[in-house]
Structure 1
Amino acid sequence: MPAEFVTVTSAEAGQKLVRFLERRVDGEVPRSAVMRWIRKGNVRVDKGRCKPFDLVKEGQIVRIPPYRADEPAEKISREPLEIIYEDENYLAINKPAGLPSQGGTGHDDSVVDRLLSMYADFPFKPAPAHRLDRDTSGVLLAGKSHHGQKALSDMFASGEGGKYYLALVRENWISEETGDDGWFEMHDLLEKKEENGTEKMVTGSGKEAHASVLSLGKLKDQTLLLVKLHTGRTHQIRVQLSSRGFPIVGDSKYGGGSGAMKLHCWRIETPWFIAQCSPHWGDDFLRQEHIDLAEKFLL
């Protein structure tokens, strides 16, 4: 491939040069090679030498040296993601259960892969700003520009914004410590431990975990809960509910039995927009009256 001269778009402005280049070559060149390009002066910004961590600006002309791209792999047909909110900086999707947020060993499909496919012609490739467990469905946010990606990352890092989940748990929810507003506060310390060859999160010591829980109604021997996260620990909701005797239906890792796990990220509130979507569980587990009640009790 011959040398290219590309113009930095408004969506790409503010990124480090090395990251800008990685995105522009679609990951076909390893970072070590990109860094070597820059050190040797093969990359030029507005015809001048540059450094890997310089921030690119809108309108700058960047020279990308000739390189050989790997032979393109056979394209995998992937179902498009359900978009529930989109503007020039932000994107919200309804992640289906069973789909990893990011690829990894043993996974040839993920949210990242599908976004790359859906936005293949965009200079800035959207990427998730946070994660949902593979078997958790619901709202997942991504940045459509460097500005949007950084704003979302900063928001989650600072604990701002509201994150609400719907969880169907085994047993009838009972708590004598529910406040006057109907919410029960869960405070725990969580840490990772290995049990029987597998890693699990357990309560007792470690990092602080805080979530608020509200019962939306009983369904036979199960209860539908609205959970607001105040911290974002690994498997937090699953562990905190299970440790109190209310495992999430289908959560085999924490005592909820087999089948599809009934945990759904229902609503995320940001300073710029609100993204909300209901799970596809069917009327046996979730009805409109439950959603109406959840909206009434938002914190």
Structure 2
Amino acid sequence: MSLAAPLVPQDLEARVLHRDGLMLIIDKPAGLPVHAGPKGGPNLEALFSGLRFGLPRDPALAHRLDKDTSGCLVLGRHRKALTRLGKLFSSGRVGKTYWAVVRGAPAEDEGRIEAPLAKRSPDRGWWMAVDPAGLPSVTEWRVKARAQGLSWIEFTPLTGRTHQIRAHAAHIGLPLLGDPIYGSEPVGGAVLHLHARAVIVPMRESQPPVSAEAPLPPHMAATFSAMGWSG
């Protein structure tokens, strides 16, 4: 199920959470892929012309978020900035906080998942599985609330593998609400409840890191309201 309403380049300006000469942080809408797939179609990159803010070229993605994941997305405004951001992300120096709603309620209030991840299929590079031969993958988690068979969990990925939070959550028996790949969401059921809540980027060594927070998307805000959670 797609949640994103049709957008035009100018719409993204209202979703800018941070802007400086090197980078932008935007609030990505759920339901819109960040770039075009093999078959093309609507995507976020196609709208980046509305985010030039006086520069001659469009900004570019410094990392990725899944189609149905919402929240903080970092863009570099020129080549030098993208190089710097690439090093920060690859070295794990960018702080990332995700909010998710999962099915189930863990007995503990927090924990750490250390489970290597590898591709499940050579034909589907985004489809991951826990595999001892996979790449080291670490996620910390903390329960923020529980209600009616669901839990609101804050995830902090310490590595940056594809679908890391989704695969790790399912691995410990807490599949994300709305996840048909790693959970058992029926066709036409809830949409994915995964939100990149905050990001911290130490862009300049001599200055404090840049931080941003993204508000909950409408579908997650509705769930929070129904559960009596204040996000």
Contact residue 161 and residue 270 of structure 1 kept, 8 A: yes
Which secondary structure does the structure 2 equivalent of 1:141 belong to? strand
Match of residue 171 from structure 2: 243
Match of residue 102 from structure 1: 35
Superposed CA RMSD: 2.4
Q: Distance in 2 between matches of 1:242 and 1:101?
A: 24
Match of residue 141 from structure 2: 213
Which secondary structure does the structure 2 equivalent of 1:254 belong to? coil
Larger Rg: 1
Contact residue 193 and residue 201 of structure 1 kept, 8 A: yes
Q: Taking structure 2 as the reference length, what is the TM-score of the superposition?
A: 0.82
Q: Distance in 2 between matches of 1:132 and 1:174?
A: 29
Report the CA distance between 1:124 and its aligned residue.
Answer: 2.7
Q: Taking structure 1 as the reference length, what is the TM-score of the superposition?
A: 0.64
Report the CA distance between 1:150 and its aligned residue.
Answer: 1.7
Question: What do the CA deviations read for 1:73-123 (whole angstroms, capped 9, x no partner)?
Answer: xxx962622111111111011111111111122332222111134439631
Match of residue 59 from structure 2: 126
Moved over 4 A (4+): 286-291
Match of residue 154 from structure 1: 87
- 1:171 matched to 2:104: yes
Q: Distance in 2 between matches of 1:184 and 1:107?
A: 40
- 1:285 matched to 2:220: no
Question: What do the CA deviations read for 1:234-285 (whole angstroms, capped 9, x no partner)?
Answer: 1110011101111000000111413210001101111131011121222542
- Select between 197-206 and 166-175 the one with higher mean Cα deviation: 197-206
What is the one-letter code of the residue matched to 1:285? F
Contact residue 51 and residue 58 of structure 2 kept, 8 A: no
Match of residue 78 from structure 1: 8
Aligned pair count reads 209
Question: What do the CA deviations read for 1:39-72 (whole angstroms, capped 9, x no partner)?
Answer: xxxxxxxxxxxxxxxxxxxxxxxxxxxxxxxxxx
Q: Distance in 2 between matches of 1:117 and 1:138?
A: 18
Q: Distance in 2 between matches of 1:192 and 1:77?
A: 33
Q: Distance in 1 between matches of 2:153 and 2:40?
A: 31
What is the one-letter code of the residue matched to 2:212? A
Contact residue 216 and residue 290 of structure 1 kept, 8 A: no
Match of residue 72 from structure 2: 139
Contact residue 217 and residue 290 of structure 1 kept, 8 A: no
- Select between 218-227 and 80-89 the one with higher mean Cα deviation: 80-89
Match of residue 187 from structure 1: 114
Match of residue 206 from structure 2: none
Q: Distance in 2 between matches of 1:106 and 1:262?
A: 26
Q: Which runs of 5 or more residues in structure 2 are unaligned?
A: 1-5, 203-208
Match of residue 200 from structure 2: 269
Q: Distance in 2 between matches of 1:117 and 1:193?
A: 37
What is the one-letter code of the residue matched to 1:78? V
Contact residue 224 and residue 230 of structure 2 kept, 8 A: no
- Select between 100-109 and 265-274 the one with higher mean Cα deviation: 100-109
**How do 1:3-42 residues align onto structure 2 when only pairs under 5 Å count?**
none
Report the CA distance between 1:290 and its aligned residue.
Answer: 4.8
Contact residue 170 and residue 256 of structure 1 kept, 8 A: no
Q: Distance in 2 between matches of 1:198 and 1:263?
A: 21
Q: Residues 119 and 288 from structure 1, CA distance in 2 versus in 1: closer, same or farther, beyond 3 angstroms?
A: farther
Which secondary structure does the structure 1 equivalent of 2:196 belong to? strand
- 1:232 matched to 2:160: yes
Q: Distance in 2 between matches of 1:192 and 1:248?
A: 19
Q: Which runs of 5 or more residues in structure 1 are unaligned?
A: 1-75, 176-181, 292-299
Q: Distance in 1 between matches of 2:53 and 2:25?
A: 17
Matched-pair identity in %: 28
